[in-house]
Structure 1
Amino acid sequence: MQYSHEDENLSLTRFESMLKTNDILFFDSNEFENIIHHYLENGKIALAKRAIKLGQEQHPSSINLSLFQVEILVIENKFVEADEILEKLHQLEPNNEEVFIQKANVLSKQDLHQKAIHTLLHAIDLSSTPEDNSDLYALVGMEFLFLDDFQNAIIYFKKCIETDMTDYGALHNIVYCYDFLNKNSEAIEYLNWFIDSNPYCEVAWHQLGRQYFAIKDYEKANAAFDFAIISDDTFVGAYIEKGKVLEKLKLYHQAIENYKITLALDEPTSFALLRIGHCYEKLGNDDLAVQFFKKTIDDDALLDKGWLAITKFYMKRLNYQKALYYIKSAVNIDGDNVLYWKLYATINKRLNFLEEAEHGYKRSLELGNYELDTWLERSDILISLGEYEIALKNLKEALEFYPENAEIEYRLAGLHFKVSEESKGRFHLKNALFLNSEYSFIISELFPNVEQMPIVKAIILESKKASN
């Protein structure tokens, strides 16, 4: 028996009215199934459970209502109880494919993916309508994805396409698998095969364009995105991708046109606004570049690429005050973004705001930016500020990440001599000279007084004689 939306709405209204009044009304099993399905789709688990309970009281022999009960138990991670019900249902209807599908679902949720695959294949064997098995093939494909078995996943997603050429989810998954395996040529071959049968499928053209873009064949990528747009001239994703291709071809005016089409078709996206800004910057139109960078951060204040773009724009033009203004705003919005802090430190250093710069490098390290230059920049600023003990601590931590690094060793040597720890200074200076004697200028640059010490001169001279 088929139900229309009107029937479903009437059933829902009656059911919810019954819950409010505590009256007991009768619903046939199909009505209960539609009610439960509605609640599950809308995430109303408590109401779905109420409907299942009442449904089973009125229709105790309904297999489908029991399957809904299993679905709820799986959501609640009650796998043992779910299995018990499925075992009873299997005894009642040993050839019911839905029982096996739910059994596979239970196994999958417990990460027993190989067993789930075996169970789904049994469900496929039981299917009375092999031509409608697209959903089952998709489930098998997903289980193979969970196992990182991309080759077998491709086989089953292709079976989905063979039974349903409109299953674009399967098409996306096939391309995803090929991408993961770095098999762009195979993806292109498959997409061209698909397009031969579906010449106006914008999704396939779009995916084909992305594959050509990945192998840097920008002319073919451009043509593929054109066909995607011909197939659907409101396809925002195709205009975006075409814009990216045109940027690679240095056709910035045309790229801007495509990005602007997306702004007219849909709500402006921060990505499109940012790319327009970059295009105008490449064209030397600084006013419009800044205008679109500002629109980007207004549209999405959490998009770090927007803040980084406008900050770097001003840095390139040596306008460090403006750059500092924007990076400070970015840090205030997201104080845990390591890219912001690194840039904050760099700009403050250029402006000779050493304490602020040191704080920026310190935060970068705290947030996991363990690049060598972060350690070195911070230590050099600490040396300039006369914070020798903190600088030593910083460099010793750096040495754990970069053992046997000459740049660190020279700094450690200079600092130890600076704080009158001569034996440690000699140790690190000899290490540094052994690792790379050409970096000895670090001592003269950072520690000019240390360089004049007789012991330091003697060690450097001895190293030069040894290398000659």
Structure 2
Amino acid sequence: MNLSNEEEENSLSLSKFESMLKTNKVFFFDSEEFEDIILHYMDTGRLNLAKRALKLGLEQHPKSTGLKLVQVEMLVYEDKLDIAEKLLNELYAIEPTNEEIYIQKANICSKRDEHEKAISHLKTALKYTDDYADVYSMIGMEYLFMDNLEMAKENFIKCLDEDTEDYSALYNVVYCFDFLDQNAEAIVYLSRFIDKNPYSEVAWHQLGRQYYALKNYEKAVWAFDYATLIDDTFLGAYMEKAKSLEKLKKYQEAIDCYNVTLELDDPSSFVLLRVAKCYERLGNNEFALNYYLKTVHEDPLLDKGWIAITDFYIRQKNFQKALYYVNKALGIDNDNSMYWKRFAAVNSALQYFEEAEYGYRKAFECGDINLDTFTLWTDVLQHLGEFDTAIEILQEANLVLPNEYEIEYRLAGLYFLTENSSKGNLHLVNGMKLELKHLSLFQELFPSVWTKTEVLSTIEKFKTRKKQ
């Protein structure tokens, strides 16, 4: 019987059963029809109807092993494991070579986290089953639960040897390769799989992903091309092909690919954002801005969209507009240190130093302890004349990031500005010990300090000692 006939008969059985429930008439179904009806309702989450069908089925076929196994499946689904196990033992006494009994025993063990026992039952099921693929797939899943990725991979491969169209198993095989960082091995396996199944668009797509992971973007595009040739509606393959083309700096081709995805599906903010970035890299700022704006129109709560427009205007040195859009991003995600950092940088460029100081402070409070956050923050404080506060922040930074010449030179300059020459000299020498060649940073940041006789003397003495 072909699949369409099976589906048609199942549909007729369901219609007949639901008609029976509505009219309170009792119709006869064979046991296999009942099994299909019950499993349909379980698959669609209508457990009450599944139970009614099971009850009527057992009334009409009280000795049906198939229906009792479906009953076991329902008990396992409801976590009534002890009752299910008892019923299975009764069925085992009647039909010890029924593979479904071992499969259900394995399901019970799996629910109890007894995965080794589950595998043992499934291996027994292999002796009696005609559906090796399904059992190998279940063994693979048990090994996944045990984090034994090598054995899981081995069994999913066996599953695919039996059924090359089991895409779930194919995805699981690739997952194992990915988890084990075996991209090269995955390519070898997928290439062999494709040799036998050249029209498997899923295999071509997964092969492309492996090449992408290894940064072989030319080969990735080649593989994704085949996936889209086999299935010209394969959205994921077009998407990943476009990403690969971006990596190759083939931005117009990437745009063309992204546009295919926009034709196949509703516009997504991710795709619109990628198209915008591609246009910007092509130097087409008008189209880039248009797509950036489309991105936030499509998803006004996408903070990455607003920050992308912020960055666009920063690159254009249009800081007033950048400030407007970074505030939009912060309105969505107020705890993002990178957004606060941009807020600070934009305000600093506009010479709004108090706002810039607030931005760097917020970035720090959000967990940003990068060196440039501390240095930019204290540079702003220096502009504001808040030398003592800047010193406190740099001292804290020194604990987190010791032996950084950029901190030492700044501490030196700030101590000289606060008339603490001894500490100024100490940190100046520390800075020169760390990076003498970057002494120009000290001169650049503190030109008034640089000309002090005492400072020049300290520098000269250090250089003289270093030559000796």
**Paired position in structure 1 for 2:283:** 284
Larger CA deviation: 147-156 vs 366-375: 147-156
Q: Determine if contact 2:106/2:117 at 8 Å carries over to the other structure.
A: no
Where in structure 2 are the equivalents of 1:390-409 lying within 5 Å? 390-409=389-408
Which of 86, 103, 118 is the matching residue for 1:88?
Answer: 86
**Paired position in structure 2 for 1:78:** none
**Paired position in structure 2 for 1:253:** 252
**Paired position in structure 2 for 1:297:** 296
Where in structure 2 are the equivalents of 1:45-444 lying within 5 Å? 62=68, 64-73=70-79, 82=81, 84-85=82-83, 88-89=86-87, 91-93=89-91, 96-108=101-113, 115-127=114-126, 129-419=128-418, 424-444=423-443
Q: 1:326: Cα distance to partner?
A: 1.5
Q: Determine if contact 2:10/2:33 at 8 Å carries over to the other structure.
A: no
Q: 1:28: Cα distance to partner?
A: 11
**CA distance, structure 2, for counterparts of residue 260 and residue 173 of structure 1:** 30
Distance 1:48 1:398, change over 3 A: farther
Supply the AA of the counterpart residue of 1:103. I
Distance 1:226 1:53, change over 3 A: closer
User: Identity across aligned pairs (percent)?
Assistant: 43
Distance 1:131 1:187, change over 3 A: farther
Q: Determine if contact 2:340/2:363 at 8 Å carries over to the other structure.
A: yes
| Structure 1 length-normalised TM | 0.80
Q: Determine if contact 2:235/2:264 at 8 Å carries over to the other structure.
A: yes
**CA distance, structure 1, for counterparts of residue 76 and residue 198 of structure 2:** 42
1:207-256, CA deviations, whole angstroms, 9 ceiling, x for partnerless residues?
12222333344443333222212211111112222223333444433322
**CA distance, structure 2, for counterparts of residue 420 and residue 92 of structure 1:** 93
Distance 1:423 1:141, change over 3 A: farther
Q: Counterpart of 2:334 in 1: which secondary structure? A: coil
Distance 1:118 1:400, change over 3 A: farther
Supply the AA of the counterpart residue of 2:268. T
Q: Counterpart of 1:4 in 2: which secondary structure? A: helix
Q: Counterpart of 1:436 in 2: which secondary structure? A: helix
Larger CA deviation: 179-188 vs 366-375: 179-188
Q: 1:424: Cα distance to partner?
A: 4.5
| Structure 2 length-normalised TM | 0.80
Q: Determine if contact 1:277/1:290 at 8 Å carries over to the other structure.
A: yes
Q: 1:93: Cα distance to partner?
A: 4.4
Q: 1:420: Cα distance to partner?
A: 5.1
Larger CA deviation: 303-312 vs 258-267: 303-312
Supply the AA of the counterpart residue of 1:158. I
Q: Determine if contact 2:133/2:159 at 8 Å carries over to the other structure.
A: yes
Q: 1:116: Cα distance to partner?
A: 0.3
Distance 1:410 1:42, change over 3 A: farther
Q: 1:42: Cα distance to partner?
A: 6.0
Larger CA deviation: 86-95 vs 369-378: 86-95
Distance 1:463 1:212, change over 3 A: same
Q: Determine if contact 1:342/1:364 at 8 Å carries over to the other structure.
A: yes
1:409-464, CA deviations, whole angstroms, 9 ceiling, x for partnerless residues?
23233334444555544543443333233444444444455556665555434322
**CA distance, structure 2, for counterparts of residue 456 and residue 353 of structure 1:** 31
Q: Determine if contact 2:106/2:121 at 8 Å carries over to the other structure.
A: no
Distance 1:389 1:190, change over 3 A: same
Supply the AA of the counterpart residue of 1:467. K
Q: Counterpart of 2:78 in 1: which secondary structure? A: helix
Q: 1:52: Cα distance to partner?
A: 12
Distance 1:459 1:253, change over 3 A: closer
Q: 1:40: Cα distance to partner?
A: 6.2
Q: Determine if contact 1:89/1:99 at 8 Å carries over to the other structure.
A: no
Unaligned runs of 5+ in 1: 19-26, 74-80, 109-114
**CA distance, structure 1, for counterparts of residue 227 and residue 194 of structure 2:** 11
Q: Counterpart of 2:229 in 1: which secondary structure? A: helix
Unaligned runs of 5+ in 2: 1-6
Distance 1:449 1:230, change over 3 A: closer
Q: 1:49: Cα distance to partner?
A: 12
Q: Counterpart of 2:272 in 1: which secondary structure? A: helix
**CA distance, structure 2, for counterparts of residue 180 and residue 127 of structure 1:** 27
Distance 1:413 1:8, change over 3 A: farther
Supply the AA of the counterpart residue of 2:74. F
1:154-185, CA deviations, whole angstroms, 9 ceiling, x for partnerless residues?
10111221222111121122222223333333
Q: 1:293: Cα distance to partner?
A: 1.2
**Paired position in structure 1 for 2:3:** none
**CA distance, structure 2, for counterparts of residue 443 and residue 261 of structure 1:** 54
Q: Determine if contact 1:302/1:333 at 8 Å carries over to the other structure.
A: yes
Distance 1:447 1:171, change over 3 A: same
Q: Determine if contact 2:238/2:258 at 8 Å carries over to the other structure.
A: yes
**CA distance, structure 2, for counterparts of residue 168 and residue 347 of structure 1:** 50
Supply the AA of the counterpart residue of 1:88. K
Q: Counterpart of 1:399 in 2: which secondary structure? A: helix
1:32-79, CA deviations, whole angstroms, 9 ceiling, x for partnerless residues?
98888677656688x699979999x999x9564454334333xxxxxx
Supply the AA of the counterpart residue of 1:168. Y
Distance 1:68 1:16, change over 3 A: farther
**CA distance, structure 2, for counterparts of residue 86 and residue 429 of structure 1:** 78
Distance 1:249 1:447, change over 3 A: closer
Distance 1:117 1:390, change over 3 A: farther
Q: Determine if contact 1:33/1:65 at 8 Å carries over to the other structure.
A: no
Q: Determine if contact 2:118/2:142 at 8 Å carries over to the other structure.
A: no
**CA distance, structure 2, for counterparts of residue 12 and residue 344 of structure 1:** 63
